[in-house]
Structure 1
Amino acid sequence: MQMIPKRLPVDIYHPHKANAEEMTKYHSDDYIKFLHSICPDNMSEYSKQIQRFTVGEDCPVFDGLFEFCQLFTGGSVASAVKLNKQQMNIAVNWAGGLHHAKKSEASDFCYINDIILAMLELLKYYQRVLYIDIDIHHGDGVEKAFYTTDQVMTVSFDKYGEYFPGTGDLWDIGAGKGKYYAVNYPLRDGTDDESYEAIFKPVMSKVIKMFQPSAVILQCGSDSLSEDRLGCFNLIIKGHAKCMEFVKSFNLPMLMLGGGGYSIHNVTRCWTYETAVALDTEIPK
């Protein structure tokens, strides 16, 4: 007799593709027009724009580039809308989390900053939104976008020093109205579960107590795991997931996003496990 698996308490949505108008709520019109037009066959016609928008080396041009951007961006924005309408407590878009993209600049495989666009959507309903980044790389694009506002607090735990993107200094704390609303915690090579947890929990407890956010965006880049091809931390999947589980314990509306990850077995196992944790569901080992 075949056992019928119990249905998980999760709804799967197929969001619309984000259009150019939605993307230009943050990104510049000419940058979005460029992404819409560029393809491998016409790159020679856009040599100046390629250089201007820093597309090429770590942000390659490929067939379907703009549609790719539409899909992951649409997922993040639609997730924010679901949270705004209180149709769910936790929304997940593992295709999102591209935290390096700037207003008119692609960076490190990030073309559109879906996080910023989702944040702008959440701010329509929530007075204060907390952004937490546990990718090994600093969330520079998101921090830069909200560096002078007190409505968003950005917190990034990352490798700092001679390491991409070279930002995320302890003393980068925001400016103007946003002073003290940017928090960066630089970490050393080899950071393991125990040391990461000893930092993450007290820092985030204090941040949430003082900032009192109405909603949270958590970027769960898996390149902070051990054996990542580009990373240099020593976290295991359960240690990584403890960060998400701790944030979840505050019972705030939460958008969980993907991000970096350069060892495919790490990425798939990590985000599968964290989906299960979000659902309070055990999965077979």
Structure 2
Amino acid sequence: MFITSKKRRRVVYIASESLAKISARLPSNRGRAVLVHGLASSLGLLANLAGTRDAAHEEHDVDDLAEDEDSESGGDESTSIRVLRPELAAEDDLLSFHDTDLVERLLSGQDAEPNDAGYGLEDDCAPFPGMREYVLAVAGASLAAARELVEGRADVSICWDGGRHHAHKSRVSGFCYVNDCVLAILALRRLRPPPHPPATTGPSISRPKLERARVMYLDLDLHYGDGVAGAFCGPNRAKSSNVLTLSIHHAARGFFPLAPCTPDLLSSEPTHAASGAGPLATEDDPYSLTIPLHAGASARTYAAIWPGVEAVAHAFVPHAVVVQCGVDALAGDPCAVGNWCLGGEGGLGWCIRRVIDEWGCKVLLLGGGGYNSPNAARAWAYLTSIAKGEPLSLETHIPDHAAFPAYAPSFTLDVPAGNARDQNDEAYVQRLADELGNAAEVLRSRGAGV
């Protein structure tokens, strides 16, 4: 863990014309998916998009696939991105997490029904034309990405149409009609953990047999990943766990959704909205961590807390990490709360590069929030280039393509910080860093990485 690998990285990118069109129907992000995949393609990141493979016809043996890729690359350490067209999810896939009644309602194809409020199908999650196809497509896309990792065909999987982290087991919420994040985590638990190396000196050590892989979920969205955290935490959790969730998000009174604790902007002490010890509630459940941030969170704040994030990961030792890369915390988003940027130490790209290059585990990158669609496309194209191992310059000019006018006025890849003040002062950030360190110690004391 935390060793940069020299091995050629295998990256898969989940995309298809039909997936983009279906995802673009989502009322909260209408048209965004077409921009996202269009920009990535126009930048040359998806060279084989026209020859996209269908997940239903991936019959390669893992060793044969590796040999094919090595022969295509000439045996060097460069990385190419393989584009994979996903299948629609099956109803049973949704039922691995969601309740039967909710799944039946989502797949019914009806525009409106009398009991919709009970499922959360109102207001920001009202039924919409194509909802059935959307749910099946997004779930199928994230599951396809996870299965590429599980079956050994990829080291990094990318699914920008996924990341719908607010949906709960029995109701939809916050623009999220299906929790593809949870479905992907459940699939990744079937990863085969690598065997422990034999002891070279001293008596042999008897280790417990691992039946499921350890999966870490890291949520970078502006909003708390409540649906994912709720799926894996609770009073009945065992003393150890193979799923750890960590959400870094804005928190304030009245801000969606209600987080385990909300910082009082007028005080250094948090106001608790639920039981817990300190901002992270680590004593109650060190496997369900939250990092609540004040308004204006900038790269400076993320850089200051990141060593603590890595300490938690180092203590947990995940076999796979799922990163929800929501981009509504970036400057310029209509939410107008965060002041994060793409570049520089502590920027979104810097964080993702460290996860991919240094954490030494399988990585699944998902999309999420982001309501300035051109900026979402910029950010995810940049992260795609990082996954490829060839980060684009943030001064890269947007290529001439159908959506070119949407990138005015800069017509470059960068999403810089704005002028908002970072209200996370040094004392508060240090407190968060200390709590993360405490969480890492608790995890180590429980033998989380054994």
Q: Fold-level match, TM-score > 0.5?
A: yes
When the two chains are superposed, the root-mean-square deviation of aligned CA atoms in Å is 1.6
Q: Is the 8 A contact 2:280 2:291 kept in 1?
A: no
Measure, in 2, the Cα distance between the counterparts of 1:159 and 1:31: 29
Q: Normalising to structure 2: TM-score of the pair?
A: 0.58
Check conservation: 1:98, 1:115, Cα contact below 8 A: yes
Greater Cα offset, 259-268 or 229-238: 229-238
Amino acid corresponding to residue 272 of structure 1 in structure 2? A
Aligned mates of 2:319, 2:298 — CA distance in 1: 30
- Matched with 1:47 is 114
Contact 2:252 2:294 in 1 (8 A): no
Q: Show CA shifts across 1:193-220 (max 9, x none).
A: 1221111x21222111211111100000
Structure 1 match to 2:86: 15
* 1:252 aligned partner: 361
Find the aligned partners of 2:352 and 2:380 in 1 and give their Cα distance: 11
1:58 alignment counterpart: 124
Residue 219 in 1 paired to residue 219 in 2?
Answer: no
Which letter maps to 2:105?
F
Partner of 2:416 in structure 1? none
2:243 matched residue in structure 1: 152
**Displacement of 1:231:** 4.2
What is the identity, as a one-letter code, of the residue corresponding to 2:107?
A: H
Decide whether aligned partners of structure 1 residues 25 and 174 sit closer, same or farther in structure 2, where only a CA change above 3 A counts. farther
Q: Could you tell me which of 365, 368, 378 is aligned with 1:269? A: 378
Mapping of residues 1-285 of structure 1, within 5 Å: 9-40=80-111, 43=112, 46-48=113-115, 50-125=116-191, 126-147=212-233, 148=237, 150-162=241-253, 163-169=255-261, 170-173=279-282, 179-199=285-305, 201-238=306-343, 239-248=347-356, 249-283=358-392, 284-285=396-397
**C-alpha distance 251-231 of structure 1, shift in aligned 2 (>3 A):** farther
Q: More displaced, 13-22 or 243-252?
A: 243-252
Query: Whole-Å Cα distance in 1 between the matches of residues 245 and 129 of structure 2?
Result: 34
Q: Secondary structure at the match of 2:247?
A: strand
Q: Classify the secondary structure of the residue corresponding to 1:143.
A: helix
Q: Tell me the number of residue pairs that the alignment of Structure 1 and Structure 2 aligns.
A: 272
Rounded to whole Å, the distance in 1 between the matches of 2:250 and 2:300 is 17
**Range that drifts further, 159-168 or 268-277:** 159-168
Larger radius of gyration: 2
* Alpha-carbon shift at residue 158 of structure 1 (Å): 0.5
Provide the rounded CA distance (Å) in 1 between the counterparts of 2:391 and 2:228: 33
8 Å CA contact 1:225, 1:234 repeated in 2: yes
Task: Using the TM superposition, give the Cα deviation of residue 27 of structure 1 relative to its aligned residue in structure 2, in angstroms.
Answer: 0.3
3-state SS, counterpart of residue 381 of structure 2? helix
Displacement over 4 Å in runs of 4+: 5-8
Between the aligned residues of both structures, percent identity stands at 32
- Normalising by structure 1, we get a TM-score of 0.91
- Shift, 1:186, TM fit: 0.7
Q: 1:158, 1:168 within 8 Å by CA — same for their partners in 2?
A: no
Structure 2 distance, partners of 1:171, 1:135, is 17
Offset from partner CA, 1:169-201 (integer Å, 9 cap, x none): 2244485xxx211111111101111221111x2
User: Match for 1:58: what amino acid?
Assistant: D
Measured in 2, the distance between the counterparts of 1:116 and 1:242 equals: 25
Per-residue CA deviation, residues 29-66 of structure 1 (Å, 9 max, x unaligned), is 110000111433xx2xx122x11001121012111101
Partner-residue secondary structure (3-state), 1:118: helix
Change (3 A) 1:220 1:174: farther
**Contact 1:53–1:104 under 8 Å retained in 2:** yes
Segments of structure 1 that go 5 or more residues without pairing to the other structure are none
Q: Is the 8 A contact 2:248 2:291 kept in 1?
A: yes
Maintained 8 Å contact 1:38/1:61: no
Task: Tell me the SS of whatever aligns to 1:167.
Answer: coil
SS across alignment from 1:92: strand
Going from structure 1 to structure 2, the CA distance change for 1:256 and 1:39 (only over 3 Å counts) comes to same
1:144-180 deviations in Å (ceiling 9; x for gaps): 11113511110111011221001142244485xxx21
1:103, CA displacement in angstroms?
Answer: 0.5
AA aligned to 2:246 is V
Q: For each residue in 1:114-141, what CA deviation from the matched residue of structure 2 results, as whole angstroms up to 9, or x when unmatched?
A: 0101111111125210000000100000
Q: Which amino acid aligns with 2:213?
A: Q
Q: Distance in 1 between matches of 2:282 and 2:173?
A: 22
State the secondary structure of the residue aligned to 1:12: strand
